[in-house]
Amino acid sequence: MRFSGRELFQLAVAVLALSGALTLLYVLPLLRGGLPVDLLAFLFVASLVAVGTGVGLHEIAHKAVAQRYGHWAEFRYYPLGLLLAFVFAFMGFIYGAPGATIVAGNVRPDENGKISAAGPATNLVLAGGFLALGLALEGAVTTLNAVFLVYAIATSAAFMNLILAGFNMIPFLPFDGAKVWAWNKPAYLGIIAAVLGLFGFGVTRGLFL
């Protein structure tokens, strides 16, 4: 896979900025009682894992499939979207429009559908892996021990990946879901079913903090 320096820089900025906004969302309700530095560091690490996998690998998956078909593809950040992430974090919820992978060339509809499906499908695989890790650690969790920290990071990353997969499968442009729906409706419905199934499993097992 081929990356330009500009692309790597913009992807890193997008991931770090969105991680910062997510950390801010977690931190604001805790400020009145004072915020230990170690807790702040943990929240940022948890956010970085969630965003790095949920956004970073999602975009890289788009790029990998596009390049496999011989197309130029690079991530470009969206500065206004990153700024709005901080604005909305101050308002108590997260909004992420960090950027997108731009694909150029004569892209066939089926290729476009597969390129678009690669991102949410990657989120699903990651969510499944993080949920499995959470289940494996569940019995060893006690308050604020090291296992709990890993468990919390894994389950928050699973949650973030499922939210991003579902959000990106909205069947209207410019979301991935519109292109997947146009290409292959059974594939679209399969991804939606997997998102709902994993999310329901996580909720019923109490894995989402």
| Positions marked catalytic | 59
Q: Which one-letter amino acid corresponds to residue 16?
A: L
Query: Measuring CA to CA, which residue among 47, 32, 44, 25 is closest to residue 93?
Result: 25
- Let me know: does 137 contact 147? Beta carbons within 8 Å: yes
Tell me the C-alpha to C-alpha distance, in Å, between residue 175 and each of 51, 131, 164.
18, 25, 11
Rounded to 10 degrees, what is the CA torsion of 167, 171, 175, 179?
130
Q: Are strands 99-104 and 72-77 parallel, antiparallel or unpaired?
A: antiparallel
